[in-house]
Copies of this chain bind each other. A is one copy, B any other.
């Protein structure tokens, strides 16, 4: 093993305005890689897991992955790590685009924000200069305007901006952080933490064109992996052609495409809103790629009214579409653009509206509470757009919805109508038709989530091999490996979509080529396991106990339609085996021995 990799940290105390620099070198980089892993370790070491997520005592960490800004294919991602206000768990959301690479080029591998600014500020990173600047004129502005204004102010059109919109300012529990306008660190409410600190944005432009980390040494591996990605059916064909919305028809035919707040598993109007429809109806203008990405799954879209942006992604289209019973693609695209501009997570925004619709239709919400807003009825495209805006600004009934579906449903006396895990809204796959995904949902370290282990890949898409989606045997092992491997990919700063074509050996190879590490594949996967255990331990200490490893009651009832009609979720039957494979106690807690073994104690 060669030299230990170094991380340059910029520490910004917002309370007193002090900015300092430090270097992380040594075992922690080797054990936690970077990004999600390394920053989670920092957060765990630096804050009390019981802290109020929206208090000055919480910290907000921007972190580049180990390979962010290198030549690695898709190696452009940054992560935001903090304690999340939606779930109370450790939160780490990552985002693509170009901001992450630019941050790395600027020499700020990790930025830690502490405390709370008295007035709105933003962080300006120009070359090696770091300054906090007044952001009063930006407060209240949407993401699109904020981005344009900051680039103008900064005086370099190549500067990159990561910022919050009104959603984050108003402490919406599922506010996102956006970069390059349409790219989101979307989930778990990281934008609200940023808002609670009066931090509006970071704008960055490095002096040098690019810090060429190990470029020569790694190019041969990069070329090979790029070729693999280009030749793969998913990353080379499906995603470039239709983006993530290639999934609409696939998941709907599979019978796991949730409709009307997961009351059903199929959507008859899917053809009106699918990825294919986005092309046929003229919304799609072209593809967009992130830094270093050969896949280019991003959708550059345009509304008939001339408004342009990116998306919707599969999850977004579903959240505002089928989950709300809406078959109006125009409204879905509008709601997506709105979320990007207002800084809201699209999954939680749409799913919260869906839950509100069920609560309203079942009489748990009075019409009077809606003030003068439209009725929350499934299928109402007007409601979807109206309440998205209301939530972001916490206006009218939107103020209650801004707390997310769980707190809303709980306040209305029926928490079980929130389709969430650990208070975070589930994405677009019904676990009753994808049993491994159900176990993954229940055990995800950031609540209802599909990108902490995407079991849809083997159980539906057949990658890397086809598994029976209803079979339980073997699934705990699969879930563990997917979770750990995902922690690796995130921590490297690469895109999860590469995993359709690349495997553990590939990630190990590119990591070794891009650094002076010399990991074996086994060591690499153990790094992922270490990160997973660290996150779990943070959550346990935060009070998120193992009894929260569960799905909403709805999934104990059988699916009423589709291929898997009659099937209920069976994750409880395999949860003990999952704990065992994880080496955890029977009750789901992590023993001191295991923590020691993982190097966490």
**8 Å CB contacts to B: which residues of A370-397?**
372-374, 377, 379-382, 385-386, 389, 392-393, 395
CB of A327 closer than 8 Å to a CB of B: yes
- Of residues A305, A307, A325, A393, which shows the largest number of chain B Cβ atoms within 10 Å of its Cβ? A305
User: Is A372 within 8 A of B393, CB to CB?
Assistant: yes
CB of A43 closer than 8 Å to a CB of B: no
User: Is B327 within 8 A of A381, CB to CB?
Assistant: no
The interface residues of chain B lying within 8 Å CB-to-CB of A395 are 372
A307 touches which of B326, B330, B331, B380 (Cβ 8 Å): B380
- Cβ-closest chain B residue relative to A327: B304
A292-311 vs B, CB cutoff 8 Å, 1 = contact: the mask equals 00000000000111110000
CB of A240 closer than 8 Å to a CB of B: no
A381 touches which of B330, B373, B389 (Cβ 8 Å): B330
Chain A interface category by residue count: 20 to 34
User: Is A305 within 8 A of B379, CB to CB?
Assistant: yes
The interface residues of chain B lying within 8 Å CB-to-CB of A303 are 381
User: Is B389 within 8 A of A304, CB to CB?
Assistant: no
User: Is B331 within 8 A of A379, CB to CB?
Assistant: no
CB of A526 closer than 8 Å to a CB of B: no
The interface residues of chain B lying within 8 Å CB-to-CB of A326 are 305
A305 touches which of B325, B334, B392, B393 (Cβ 8 Å): B325
CB of A518 closer than 8 Å to a CB of B: no
A330 touches which of B306, B331, B386 (Cβ 8 Å): B331
Known: A328-B330, A330-B330, A331-B330. A306 touches B372 (CB 8 A): no
User: Is A381 within 8 A of B328, CB to CB?
Assistant: no
Q: How far is the CB of A190 from chain B (nearest CB, A)?
A: 22
- Cβ-closest chain B residue relative to A394: B372
Q: A305-B326, A372-B389, A372-B392 are in contact. List 20 more A-B contacts (CB 8 A).
A: A166-B372, A269-B304, A304-B327, A304-B379, A305-B325, A305-B380, A305-B381, A306-B377, A306-B379, A307-B379, A307-B380, A328-B330, A330-B331, A334-B382, A338-B382, A372-B395, A373-B389, A374-B389, A385-B386, A386-B386
In the A-B complex, the 7 residue pairs with the smallest Cβ-Cβ separation, listed nearest first, are A305-B379, A372-B393, A304-B327, A306-B379, A305-B380, A334-B382, A328-B330
